[in-house]
Amino acid sequence: MKKTTLLSIVIIILILLNIATLGFIFMKENHPHLPEGRINEPKDIIIKKLHFDEEQQRNYEIEITKHQKEISEIDKKIRENKHKLYSLLATPYNEEKRDSLIQIVAANQKKVELMHFNHFVTIKAICHQDQLAAYNELTRELPKLFAPPKELRRHE
């Protein structure tokens, strides 16, 4: 077999493998590298499931922006205190400091959960009476909707 024929066959095989790889990447559900506007975002899922009209969507966008700002501030505090906590490992052991920082992190995590809960109370207030059944159905799906991606879950 000539070198050019062999080289042509190898190139065709490589092209087919690249096409198959790209097809797999773009066809895979919930791929983490999908564009920002994908329908799988919780925001889009909520709007779709609750059948929000344009005014409700505007109110929801305002609530999302407020919620994200609040969560971001608390998350920053959590990160800072975790940094302080783990920096204790490089110092002489101090159980009192450790416990104090763990309590601060736990209190801030509690605030985050309360903020998330209240966020959905506000979403319920945005709903019209005829959307409450869909809202109640959505609340049963929330743990799955906001679960970490499968790659990050340890036990399933």
| Average pLDDT, rounded, for the chain | 85
Model confidence at 17: pLDDT above 70: yes
Please indicate, yes or no, whether residues 102 and 144 belong to a single structural domain of this protein: yes
pLDDT score at 155: 52
> 47 and 105: one domain?
yes
Q: What's the rounded mean pLDDT across residues 102-128?
A: 95
Q: Which domain holds residue 122?
A: 38-152
Same domain, 140 and 85: yes
Identify whether residues 25 and 100 lie together within a single domain.
no
pTM of the entire predicted model: 0.67
Return the pLDDT at 77: 96
pLDDT at 118: 96
Let me know whether 15 and 68 are in one domain.
no
User: pLDDT per residue over 127-143, tens digit each?
Assistant: 999 999 999 999 998 88
Do 132 and 60 share a structural domain? Answer: yes
30-58 average pLDDT score: 75
Q: Higher pLDDT residue, 143 or 84? A: 84
Statement to judge: residues 72 and 2 lie in one domain: no
- In three state form, how does the secondary structure of the chain look? CCHHHHHHHHHHHHHHHHHHHHHHHHHCCCCCCCCCCCCCCHHHHHHHHHCCCHHHHHHHHHHHHHHHHHHHHHHHHHHHHHHHHHHHHHCCCCHHHHHHHHHHHHHHHHHHHHHHHHHHHHHHHHCCHHHHHHHHHHHHHHHHHCCCCHHHCCCC
Number of domains in the chain: 2
